[in-house]
Amino acid sequence: MNEDKFLKDLLADYHPRLSDDRQFMGRLQRQMELVEEVKAYQRAETRKNRRLSIWMLAVGIVVGCMVTLASFTLPAIMETYVNGTEPELILVLLHNVRYIGLAIGAAFVTFSLLFTMRMVNLKP
């Protein structure tokens, strides 16, 4: 009973003031304009990310192809170094330089494709 009287007394002094329609509509319009600005910014960022991802794909493919093509020419160059080399690890690397080059080229292309797919699939 005392709690009800306490709440009734507390709420008796509460008289909320309603703003007029023009102020409400002005605030609502400003908030809607801010929402549109944020949406425009997100669209611009998405376009920028897509352009960047396409450039990264192109760079990855070019670098991957260059490394792959270089791996086909390097074994002829590396054969001169095989004769004077004694450590086994270096000999193994020199004998397998073509496969190492192919793996590096494939890695560049794969990572550029993965990065591109990740950036293109971002939701605005």
Is 29 a member of any domain?
A: yes
Q: Give the integer Cα–Cα distance in Å for 122 and 46.
A: 7
8 Å CB contact between 99 and 72: no
Is 7 a member of any domain?
A: no
Rounded CA Rg of the chain: 33
Residue-number span of the structural domain to which 76 is assigned = 19-120
Identify which of 99, 107, 101 has the alpha carbon closest to the alpha carbon of residue 60: 107
Is 86 a member of any domain?
A: yes
Is 58 a member of any domain?
A: yes
8 Å CB contact between 93 and 48: no
Domains of the chain: total: 1
| The pLDDT of residue 77 | 58
Q: Give the integer Cα–Cα distance in Å for 8 and 31.
A: 36
Is 9 a member of any domain?
A: no
Is 70 a member of any domain?
A: yes
Segments of the chain with pLDDT less than 70? 1-3, 18, 74-86, 88-91, 93-94, 119-124
Q: Which residues contact 114 (CB under 8 A, 6 or more apart)?
A: none
| The pLDDT of residue 32 | 93
Is 115 a member of any domain?
A: yes
